[in-house]
């Protein structure tokens, strides 16, 4: 049986509710040992998918957060220069030859493993999350293709390090720039949408178990309608969970009872000033289903 054969059940065991399409993509990525590229709006749960997969497989999650200017050094390895310098100074008056000293300071003891090297060095396959690959430069994307092709890196002073256990690779993209065809061909692909009502309700019940049944449905109704408003940043699943927790903490039993109090909790759902101004108390009352 492959690692992905019962992945849906394993994800559910760690509180992650995957739709059929995403569960199938994960199953195929595991069985075919191919990287999986997850694309979609911010907040739909792409990063959480990788975290849940690591939990479901009971393995380590290694995260590489991408950003503009990211280079190979920051992602593969660096030498611990301070420790090397201390070693050199400690041996200045010793009888160690320069060649022996060089071999010592360019050894595993002085190597700082960054995410890509760490991911291929483990004895058990980790989940390697390459988060927001679209934020990295095209040059780094091209280098990443080489690593994903062979799962090995070369350290001039130590030689080639090959993967002991092939990592399960999840890449995420918010679509801020177009990714290369070469990268897309290397990966399986899934576009992650905001969850539908039934799935978001299931997520809410799984992640906020103390939430009253009478509140869960109206909370999801509200958020689903709020996403259809003209907003700069639609609230994601994490915001739904934060809002539900806030409502529980405030002792609110019905979101229709006090629109002013509910309006004050919009800071959990809305993350820009224009959005907070756009969603007025009247808008909150309408979305909550309060009679006009």
| Position with higher pLDDT, 147 vs 132 | 132
Indicate whether 102 and 242 sit together in one domain: no
pLDDT of residue 163: 86
Residues in contact with 63: Cβ distance below 8 Å, sequence separation at least 6, in sequence order: 50, 115, 129, 131
pLDDT digits (tens, 9 = 90+) for 178-220: 999 999 999 999 999 999 999 999 999 989 888 888 999 999 9
| Residue 262: its H or E element | helix 259-264
pLDDT of residue 101: 67
Q: Considering the domain boundaries, does residue 257 fall inside one? A: yes
Indicate whether 101 and 119 sit together in one domain: no
Q: Considering the domain boundaries, does residue 102 fall inside one? A: yes
Indicate whether 44 and 172 sit together in one domain: yes
Indicate whether 171 and 201 sit together in one domain: no
Compute the average pLDDT of residues 170-182. 93
Q: Which of 191, 223, 256 is the last residue of a domain?
A: 191
Q: Which of 55-64, 86-95, 149-158, 190-199 has the lowest mean pLDDT?
A: 86-95
pLDDT band at 49 (very low <50, low <70, confident <90, very high): very high
Indicate whether 82 and 141 sit together in one domain: no
Given a cut of 60, whether residue 2 has pLDDT beyond it is: no
Mean pLDDT of the chain: 89
pLDDT digits (tens, 9 = 90+) for 226-273: 999 999 999 999 999 999 999 999 999 999 888 889 999 999 999 999
Q: Print the domain residue range for 21.
A: 7-76+114-191
Compute the average pLDDT of residues 21-39. 95
Indicate whether 242 and 98 sit together in one domain: no
Indicate whether 34 and 88 sit together in one domain: no
Q: Which of 88, 110, 132 is the last residue of a domain?
A: 110
Q: Considering the domain boundaries, does residue 291 fall inside one? A: no
Indicate whether 266 and 181 sit together in one domain: no
HEC letters along 179-245: CCHHHHHHCEEEECCCCCHHHHHHHHHHHCCCCCHHHHHHHHHHHHHHCCCCCCCCCCHHHHHHHHH
Residues 36, 25 contacting (CB under 8 angstroms)? yes
Indicate whether 129 and 91 sit together in one domain: no
pLDDT digits (tens, 9 = 90+) for 98-126: 666 666 777 677 788 899 999 999 999 99
pLDDT band at 155 (very low <50, low <70, confident <90, very high): confident
N residues, the chain:
292
Indicate whether 166 and 29 sit together in one domain: yes
Please state the pTM of the whole predicted model.
0.85
Q: Considering the domain boundaries, does residue 1 fall inside one? A: no
| Position with higher pLDDT, 50 vs 213 | 50
Indicate whether 87 and 180 sit together in one domain: no
Residues 172, 212 contacting (CB under 8 angstroms)? no
**Rounded to the nearest 5°, which phi and psi values hold at 106?**
-105, 55
Given a cut of 50, whether residue 1 has pLDDT beyond it is: no
pLDDT band at 157 (very low <50, low <70, confident <90, very high): confident
Indicate whether 231 and 276 sit together in one domain: yes
Proportion of the chain above pLDDT 70, given as a percent: 92
């Amino acid at each position: 049986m492959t690692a992905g054969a019962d992945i849906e059940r394993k994800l559910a065991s760690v509180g992650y509710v995957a739709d059929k399409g995403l569960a199938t993509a994960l199953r195929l990525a595991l069985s075919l040992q191919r990287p999986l590229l997850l694309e979609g709006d911010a907040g739909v749960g792409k990063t959480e998918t990788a975290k849940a997969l690591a939990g479901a497989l009971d393995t380590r999650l290694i995260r590489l957060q991408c950003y503009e200017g990211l280079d190979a050094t920051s992602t593969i390895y660096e030498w611990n220069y301070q420790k090397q310098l201390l070693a050199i100074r400690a041996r200045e008056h010793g009888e160690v030859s320069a060649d022996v000293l060089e071999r010592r300071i360019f050894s595993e003891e002085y190597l700082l493993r960054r995410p890509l090297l760490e991911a291929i060095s483990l004895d058990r396959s980790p989940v390697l999350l390459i988060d927001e690959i679209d934020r990295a430069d095209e040059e780094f994307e091209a280098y990443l293709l080489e690593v994903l092709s062979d799962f090995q890196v070369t350290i001039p002073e130590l030689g080639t390090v090959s993967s002991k256990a092939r990592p399960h690779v999840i890449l995420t993209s918010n679509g801020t720039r177009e990714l290369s065809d070469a990268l897309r061909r290397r990966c399986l692909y899934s576009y992650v949408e905001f969850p539908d009502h039934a799935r978001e309700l299931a997520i809410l019940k799984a992640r906020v178990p103390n939430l009253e049944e009478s509140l869960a449905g109206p909370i999801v109704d509200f958020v689903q309608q709020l996403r259809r408003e003209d907003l700069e940043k639609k609230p994601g699943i994490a915001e739904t969970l934060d809002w539900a927790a806030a409502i529980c903490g405030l002792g609110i039993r019905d979101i229709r009872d006090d629109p002013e109090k509910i309006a004050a909790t919009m800071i959990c759902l809305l993350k820009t000033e224009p959005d907070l101004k756009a969603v007025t108390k009247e808008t909150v009352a309408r979305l909550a289903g309060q009679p006009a």
